[in-house]
Amino acid sequence: MKQRLPIPTALALLTFCGILLLPQIVPALKNLRSLDPQRIPEVTQFPLRDGSGEASSDPLASPAVMEEQRTKRLVMAAPKNLIDPAHVLDSFYASLLEGGTTTILHYGDSPTTADLITADARNMLQQEYGNAGTGFVLMARPWAWYNHRGVEMSASNWKIDIAGISELRDGLNGLGGVSFQGAPGAVANWKLKDSTHTDLEVAYLAQPGGGEFTISAEDEPLGTISTSAEERIPAFAHFAIPAGASHFELRVTQGPVRLYGADFRKPGPGIVYSSLGINGANVTLLSHALNGQHWTGQLRHYKPDLVIVNYGTNESGFPKFIDSTWGREMREVVRRLRTALPGVAVLLMSPMDRGEKKETGEIDTLASIPRLVSTEQKVALETGVAFFNTFEAMGGQGTMGRWYQSEPRLVGADYIHPMPAGAKIVGQLLVAALREGFRHYKMEGLKEKIVQLDAEAAETRRRAAMLRPGAGESANNTTFKR
Q: What is the pLDDT of residue 268?
A: 81
**Tens digit of pLDDT per residue, the chain (482 long)?**
445 555 655 555 566 566 556 555 555 555 555 555 544 444 333 343 343 444 444 445 555 555 455 444 434 443 579 999 999 999 999 999 999 999 999 999 999 999 999 999 999 999 999 999 999 999 999 999 999 999 999 999 999 999 999 999 999 999 999 999 999 999 999 999 999 999 999 999 999 999 999 999 999 999 999 999 999 999 999 999 999 999 999 999 999 999 999 999 999 899 999 999 999 999 999 999 999 999 999 999 999 999 999 999 999 999 999 999 999 999 999 999 999 999 999 999 999 999 999 999 999 999 999 999 999 999 999 999 999 999 999 999 999 999 999 999 999 999 999 999 999 999 999 999 999 999 999 998 877 778 787 787 888 888 888 887 765 554 455 444 44
> For 463, phi and psi rounded to 5 degrees?
-65, -40
Cα–Cα distance measured from residue 349 to residue 276, given in angstroms and rounded to the nearest whole number: 14
* Architecture of the domain whose range is 137-267: Sandwich (2.60)
Cα–Cα distance measured from residue 112 to residue 471, given in angstroms and rounded to the nearest whole number: 69
> For 51, phi and psi rounded to 5 degrees?
-60, -25
Cα–Cα distance measured from residue 63 to residue 66, given in angstroms and rounded to the nearest whole number: 5
Q: What is the pLDDT of residue 450?
A: 81
Q: What is the pLDDT of residue 462?
A: 84
Cα–Cα distance measured from residue 158 to residue 390, given in angstroms and rounded to the nearest whole number: 36
Which residues contact residue 378 at a Cβ distance below 8 angstroms, ignoring those fewer than 6 apart? 327
How many CA atoms does the CB half-sphere of 171 hold within 13 Å? 15
Q: Which residues of the chain does CATH 2.60.120.1360 include?
A: 137-267
Cα–Cα distance measured from residue 353 to residue 364, given in angstroms and rounded to the nearest whole number: 9
Cα–Cα distance measured from residue 213 to residue 255, given in angstroms and rounded to the nearest whole number: 9
Please check whether residue 33 is in contact with residue 442, taking contact to mean a CB–CB distance below 8 angstroms: yes
Q: CATH number of the domain at 26-44+79-132+268-482, out of 3.90.25.10, 3.40.50.1110, 3.40.1530.20, 3.40.50.300? A: 3.40.50.1110
Residue of 261, 228, 251 whose CA lies nearest to 182: 251
Count CB atoms within 10 A of the CB of residue 114.
Answer: 23
Please give, one letter per residue, the 3-state secondary structure of 302-325: HCCCEEEEECCCCHHHCHHHHHHC
Which residues contact residue 455 at a Cβ distance below 8 angstroms, ignoring those fewer than 6 apart? none
Is the full-model pTM beyond 0.85?
no
Q: What is the pLDDT of residue 445?
A: 83
What DSSP line would sit under 192-233, residue for residue? ES-TT--EEEEEEEEBTT--EEEEEETTEEEEEEE-B-SS-E
Which residues contact residue 118 at a Cβ distance below 8 angstroms, ignoring those fewer than 6 apart? 106, 108, 112, 273, 275, 277, 427
Cα–Cα distance measured from residue 208 to residue 225, given in angstroms and rounded to the nearest whole number: 14
Q: Which residues of the chain does CATH 3.40.50.1110 include?
A: 26-44+79-132+268-482
> For 477, phi and psi rounded to 5 degrees?
-60, -40
